[in-house]
Each structure stands twice: as C-alpha cells, then as structure tokens.
C-alpha cells in the first residue's frame, strides 16, 4: 500500500472542515492525487447511516446503537473508498475516523474504551492513519462557533450530537487530548483558536517535516 492516510479530528466547532479542504487544495496544487472524504459518510450507504445518526429527531437512540451505526458506516467507507484509494497510491484526507468514535462514545458517552476500539478495529480491518491532526479548541469557543453557524442562512440547525450539553463536549475534548498523549507519533495537536491561515501553515509545515521519511512522495 503506497498511499498516505491523513485524518482530521477535534471537538465540534474546531474548524476541521475548513482546514482539511485547505490542505487538500495545498496538495492538489503540488500535483498530488488527493481524495477528500468524511465520516460518517463517504459512500451512498454510509451517507444514509449519517442521516440517521445526526438527525435531531432521533433523540431516543441508545448508546450501543450509536456505536454500531458509526462502525457500520465506517466499514463500508473503509472498504469501498479508503483502502482502494490507498492501494492506488493516493493521498486520502478524511474528516474524522476512529479517534472520533473513541472520543465521542467512550469519552463523551462513558462507554468502555476498549470495546469501542475493538468494534472499530473490526470495522476498519485494523486500518490506522499515517498522521492525524487534532484541532483543539476550548469548548466554549467551539460552542459559540456552532451557534453562529446555525444562525446563518447557510449553516442549518445543530445536529443530534452538537445539541448535547457542554459537559459532554468537555469530556469529548479531554478524550481527544488523552488520545494525543497516548499516540504522540501519530497525532499532532494544533491549537485551533487562531486565524485559519496560521493553523493551515502549521499543518502544512508539519506534514512536510513528517514526510521526510517518504521521499517517494516529494511533497516539497
């Protein structure tokens, strides 16, 4: 497998979507074959599961159902989209992956961490990112960004997960930071409460340094 798998993680409102698109454009301008995708979603089946997971009307969803639906969406996405792209030598940029399940479902919901991890190892056939960018932001800043976005004409309302309380989102953030401590060689924490240009520059520089051992990619 000659491709490169990069993921973006972080609490809601951290700016993942903005930054992953900027990195995709940055790499594309340099001639790399980039696939930009997201979770939950990324395939027709996975997108249907996403709609169920994020629908605010599904407040009765139990925690075990949430875990299994995310994993089911991921299984389809990994095997239909991500693995084939990596086997073709492409750079895959994914907005959220297994770290999100651990942070939101083990950290946020309080489920057993190893159980969540095991379910997702099975779903993904053990696939791990080469590098993960964790965009970290204080909960109150992220919440305000979400509220500002939902108030805009283009933003839409908050989804089922975004509507959860501040204590839940604080646990999610803490779980992300714990994952970063446990995986220092893979996860790079990036402070996201800064101008977007500064965040994008730090990510691009880190990726160039990280790929020093991959001369076949010739990033710069």
pLDDT for the residue 156: 66
pLDDT for the residue 147: 79
What is the DSSP code (8-state) at residue 15? Answer: -
Blockwise average pLDDT, block size 10, the chain, 220 residues: 91 94 96 97 97 94 97 98 98 98 97 98 98 96 81 72 91 98 98 96 94 56
pLDDT for the residue 154: 56
pTM: 0.92
Cis upstream peptide for 40 (omega within 30°): yes
pLDDT for the residue 178: 98
pLDDT for the residue 105: 97
pLDDT for the residue 1: 54
pLDDT tens-digit map of 51-100? 999 999 999 999 999 999 999 999 999 999 999 999 999 999 999 999 99
């Amino acid at each position: 497998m000659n491709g490169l798998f990069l993921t973006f993680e972080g609490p809601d409102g951290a700016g993942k979507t903005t930054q992953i698109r900027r990195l995709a454009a940055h790499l594309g301008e340099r001639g790399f074959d980039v696939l930009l995708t997201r979770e939950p979603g990324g395939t027709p089946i996975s997108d249907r599961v996403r709609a169920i997971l994020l629908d605010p009307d599904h407040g009765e969803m139990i925690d075990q159902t949430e875990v299994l639906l995310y994993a089911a969406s991921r299984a389809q996405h990994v095997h239909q989209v991500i693995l084939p792209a990596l086997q073709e030598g492409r750079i895959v940029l994914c907005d959220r992956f297994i770290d999100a399940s651990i942070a939101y479902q083990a950290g946020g919901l309080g489920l057993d961490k190893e159980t969540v991890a095991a379910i997702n190892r099975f779903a993904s056939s053990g696939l791990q990112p080469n590098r993960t960018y964790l965009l970290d932001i204080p909960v109150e800043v992220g919440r305000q960004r979400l509220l500002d976005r939902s108030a805009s004409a283009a933003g839409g309302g908050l989804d089922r997960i975004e509507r959860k309380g501040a204590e839940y989102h604080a646990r999610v953030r803490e779980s992300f930071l714990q994952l970063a401590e446990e995986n220092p060689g893979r996860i790079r924490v990036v402070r996201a409460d800064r101008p977007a240009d500064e965040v994008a520059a730090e990510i691009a520089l880190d990726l160039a340094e990280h790929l020093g051992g991959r001369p076949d990619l010739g990033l710069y």
